Amino acid sequence: MRIKRTTSTEAPDINLIPLIDVLLVIVIFLVVSTTFMQPSQLEVDLPGTRSAQEDARPPEALRIRVGRDGNYALGAQGVLTETQLRTELSKVLSAKPASEERRAIVEADAAATHQSVVMVMDMLASLGVAKVSIATVGGKSP
């Protein structure tokens, strides 16, 4: 039995239609199964204007205001510097019994420096204030 070998001069061609069909099915599968909503990397609970917690705030909480020019005010007292604020805070807090929970509310101007607000919070922590809140006004976008 003799097998003849035929030599062809035609170059073999690759049929691309099945490849395109398979790729189209893969693209359709990916589009259908992909979610287009990106989850947030950091979830935050934004403060509101008036909450039940703010209304239930005890009246003995200290109110410290931080101005845009770096001055401070404690309660009804006028403008204080950093050293005056520390002295006044230590006077007020030494008058309170140690068993009483110490609270403070920091009301900072929107243009106040971050350093001045952190300095007040650090001062309160060093004087033994257990809870520090930051007052906000809701409803306005910056």
What does the pLDDT read at residue 47? Answer: 53
Q: What is the pTM of this model?
A: 0.54
Strand partners of residue 131:
103
Total residues found in the chain within this entry: 142
Question: 25-82: per-residue pLDDT in tens?
Answer: 999 998 888 766 655 444 545 555 555 454 454 547 788 888 888 888 887 777 788 8
Distances (CA, A) of 74 to 4, 16, 37, 61, 104: 107, 79, 46, 11, 10
The domains located in the chain, with CATH, are 63-134 (3.30.420)
- Section 1-12 average pLDDT: 76
| Residue 21 or 13, more confident | 21
Q: In sequence order, which residues have a C-beta less than 8 Å from that of residue 79 and are 6 or more positions away?
A: 67, 71, 72, 73
| Residue 6 or 131, more confident | 131
Helix (H, G, I), strand (E, B) or coil at 4: coil
What are 70's two structure tokens? Answer: 């770096």
| Residue 24 or 127, more confident | 24
- Section 7-12 average pLDDT: 76
Q: Are 82 and 122 in contact (CB under 8 A)?
A: no
Question: 16-35: per-residue pLDDT in tens?
Answer: 899 999 999 999 998 888 76
Question: 104-125: per-residue pLDDT in tens?
Answer: 888 888 888 889 889 999 998 8
